[in-house]
Amino acid sequence: MSAALAPAAQAQVPAAARGHFQRGSEHYRKGQFDQAVREFSAAYETYPSARLIYDVAQAERKQGLLADAARHYEQFLKQEKAITPLTRGVVQSYLQRLRGTAAGRKPPVPPRNMPELFDPALGAPLGSGAGSPSAQPASAPASPPVAPPAMPAVAATPSGQPASSAAPARVEQKPAVAAAAPPPAAPASAVASAASAASASPAAPAGPTPSYGIVRLQQGAPAATVAAPSKPISGRWLPVPVNPSFTLRDVVVQGDALFAVGDGGVFFVALQDGIFRAVRSGVNNWLSGVWGVGNELFMTGDSGTILRRFGGRMKPVVSGTTKTLFAIGGTANEWFAVGEAGVAVRWNGSGFSPVPTGTRQPLFAVQALDGEVFASGGGGLILRWNGAAFVPMESGTSSWLHAMWGTSRSDVFAVGARGTILHFDGRAWTQQASGTNETLLAIWGTAADRVVAVGSRGTILHYHGGSWRPAKSGTQASLFGVVGRDVDTIYAVGDAGTVLRLQPE
């Protein structure tokens, strides 16, 4: 407890919020700041505490999202009344320095006495009444004030479904760390259009609010709240009805919504209720890739199609190529799309422009980790971005590599034809035994030893403890995409509208 803070009462934080905060703290310690924003925002939805707004701001500052961070520091200062004048002055002083930082410049270094993170376990949430140890979160908390991590919006309201709104959350297509208490499914708000929720400011506390405890994360030291060790992925893969039954080629989680893209320019949106609703994208091209970061959402497809979410609608963006773009990915500030004949385009801040790859092989996947960008494709090709061009790496295989995923630049998987699975440890790519000859088409995980790969003829493999094991899918349909809402809620998508959901044991 800092001497700058008044004594704090121990609040009863819901298990779901506590789990999100623990995972966010661990992501923060590991430098995975986009995932940290996601988890802190999700924690706020369940337990609307202003100190979680501060945690979001800290993670955004680390990402270089200075305008977003400044806005959330300001919201924190307006809504939190219990911090001492010293702590308030430190944060206010840093906020002024942050606002004076020119766009594109590094943020100023915060003072040593500025809190790293605030633990929501100490004190009552906003709107909970007097800050007594028994104070509980409001049964219907206000929407998080975290405006940038708003749930993505899409253009159309599917037939027969009412439009409404859902609580926003921040997501990036990256792994989450397992925690002792995964969040329960939120009550469905049936947002067929997935319209962005308004950022409502929570009501002021009705009584005195306890102060915050501080979590200080030292470089190389474990976080004060550490996620539980990962457990094997287990359970039954069950079919999810989807209508109409378009082939689905990729899937991503963005905010509270799961987006799956496929043929005929149609994509599907599924909220917490798990119902997949078809939405027209505005183009007739088939879509092969989808990717989101922060509140950005992109889709790619044939004839150089790139769609970007603008004002709640998916709208075309000039890609600079007519080649099919199979995948899109990148970092918060640098986006790449790759496709047939070795084409790769890069977002330059105002549009996409081609970048050299030195190959005519098709490129099926792109993955960004810790500032590194990898791409994979035909003939066992693996490329690495050097800041000016993609350059080849030695893969040790000639199998086509269809997908990539990893937790860091020294923990990357690539999967492909004939059951090929490669792993990169930061020095070299090595092959792992998969136990199958089927083509592996997608891969996703929650931790370095908790990974799922899917592929042709309904193939599903689970990775844990250094080995891959088959799982029964109950289908012969090829599976082209896999992603999870959290550590246990995992979906796979594929041929003829096939959608599977893992039912944990």
The model's pLDDT over 104-150, given as tens digits with 9 standing for 90+, comes to 567 788 887 788 888 877 644 444 333 322 233 333 333 333 333 33
Burial class (CB within 10 angstroms; exposed 0-12, middle 13-18, buried 19+) of 496: middle
**454: which strand partners?**
442, 460
Name which residue leads in pLDDT, 258 or 348: 258
Neighbours of 72 (CB within 10 A): 30
Name which residue leads in pLDDT, 275 or 391: 391
Name which residue leads in pLDDT, 497 or 206: 497
* pLDDT for residue 43: 85
Q: pTM of the entire structure?
A: 0.58
**252: which strand partners?**
259
pLDDT average, residue stretch 68-90: 83
* pLDDT for residue 218: 30
* pLDDT for residue 185: 35
* pLDDT for residue 159: 31
* pLDDT for residue 328: 96
Give the confidence band of 225 by pLDDT, cuts at 50, 70, 90. Answer: very low
The answer to which of 95-104, 279-288, 431-440, 484-493 has the lowest mean pLDDT is 95-104
* pLDDT for residue 33: 85
The answer to which of 77-81, 237-241, 312-316, 330-334 has the lowest mean pLDDT is 330-334
Name which residue leads in pLDDT, 214 or 292: 292
Distance separating the N- and C-terminal Cα atoms of the chain: 40
Q: Which two tokens stand for residue 375?
A: 């791409």
* Residue 499 near residue 239, CB atoms below 8 Å: yes
CATH of 1-145+204-226, one of 1.20.200.10, 1.25.40.10, 1.10.3470.10, 1.20.210.10: 1.25.40.10
Residues 6+ apart with CB under 8 A from 197: 143, 150, 151, 165, 166, 167, 168
Mean pLDDT of the chain, nearest integer? 76
Rounded to the nearest angstrom, the gap between the alpha carbon of residue 55 and the centroid of all alpha carbons in its chain is: 17
Instruction: Report the percent of the chain where pLDDT is more than 90.
Output: 38
Residues of the chain with CATH 1.25.40.10: 1-145+204-226
Most confidently modeled range among 15-24, 251-260, 302-311, 406-415 = 406-415
- Topology of domain 235-504, CATH: Methylamine Dehydrogenase; Chain H (2.130.10)
Give the confidence band of 338 by pLDDT, cuts at 50, 70, 90. Answer: very high
* pLDDT for residue 419: 97
Name which residue leads in pLDDT, 50 or 360: 360
Residue 103 has pLDDT above 80, yes or no: no
* Residue 51 near residue 212, CB atoms below 8 Å: yes
Residues of the chain with CATH 2.130.10.10: 235-504
